[in-house]
Amino acid sequence: MAKVLVEIGGWAVSLNFPGRSPLLEPSYEPFLALPEGEPSAEWRVNREPFPAGIQSSSPFIPPLPRWEIVRQGTYKLFRLQRWMGSPNLWKAARMDPALSRGEIWTDRSEESSVYPLRELDQLLFAHFFIQRRCLIVHAAAARIAGRGYLFSGPGGAGKSTWSALLGKVRGCTLLGDDKVVLRETGDGFRIYSTPWNPSLGPLMNDSAPLAGIYFLRHREENAVRPLKQAEAFKNLLQQTFLPFAPPETEAAVSLLEAAAAGTGASSFGFRPDRSATDCFLSAIAGKPGEPAT
């Protein structure tokens, strides 16, 4: 059996394959750890067809049309369709409650055999992380002078544009422009890069202590405005991959409340040019510069 150890968010998951290891997405390469490491979970990828009891007996039900999560005895069963309305199951996983042990199946198409975790991975990791006080957040992130900054917002808010601007700042390390992991530690929060930032290409497996949260929006003039805790929590909640099950959802809300309470959050309206990075760097340095109101 081939064993691949993947480390994301500081947690290692062992992926066990019968026979020869298939390829993973290229973006996973920086997140591969030494196989001798101690995993926090072991997931077995099966080459056999879907077993009896895995296929859904009824059409998929919201919250999202392509996937569903159901209880099967003491296990969680994850089902994923290839596209909305597809009559056939594409990928599935049966996991213990903490996702420490589990099995994964895919259909027999060549793509599924080569990239068995494609699209299923974020669904599984979202539920794996929340058991360990972590969340996947729709955000860009960077490390500057040893401190981490999270930049969130809905599609079109400017995460990719802002990441491109930050990429030109000396001493700035990008941790992502689309999805990052937010993890509670013993002394606060930490943000981690992930393999799920396709526009940046493969990123290094890196992290930084969280020093600030910024909610982006395009604006004609640069402006940084501090947010109250309740507003910061609401904005974070809207940009977090929430597991849709009551115990996990409650844990996610608790984690976001702690992040909003323990980390300064601001609204950041910016122009798409160098003046925006000058404004931001002045703001985090506590110096006057471009308007920071």
Question: 3-class DSSP state for residue 264?
Answer: coil
- Look-up: residue for tokens 């494609």? 118
In sequence order, what are the residues at sequence separation of 6 or more whose Cβ sits closer than 8 angstroms to the Cβ of residue 285? none
Query: What pLDDT is attached to residue 293?
Result: 36
pLDDT surpassing 50 at residue 137? yes
Q: If you ran DSSP here, which 8-state letter would residue 65 be given? A: T
Residue-wise pLDDT for 157-174, tens only, equals 999 999 999 999 999 999
Whether residue 58 is predicted with pLDDT greater than 80 in this model: the reply is no
Provide the pLDDT confidence category of residue 221 given band limits of 50, 70 and 90: very high
| Band (213; pLDDT cuts 50, 70, 90) | very high
Question: Beta strands 207-218 and 147-152: pairing type?
Answer: parallel
Q: Which pLDDT value is given to residue 226?
A: 96
pLDDT of residue 288: 42
Percent of the chain's residues with pLDDT above 90: 67
* The two structure tokens encoding residue 232: 């910061």
Range picked from 118-122, 256-260, 287-291 for highest mean pLDDT = 256-260
DSSP assignment letter at 259: H
pLDDT in tens, 71-121: 889 999 999 988 777 778 899 999 999 999 999 998 877 666 677 888 899
Average pLDDT over residues 195-210: 90
pLDDT-based confidence at residue 245 (cuts at 50, 70, 90):
confident
Could you give the count of Cα atoms lying within 13 Å of 276 in the half-sphere of its Cβ? 22
How much is the mean pLDDT over the chain?
89
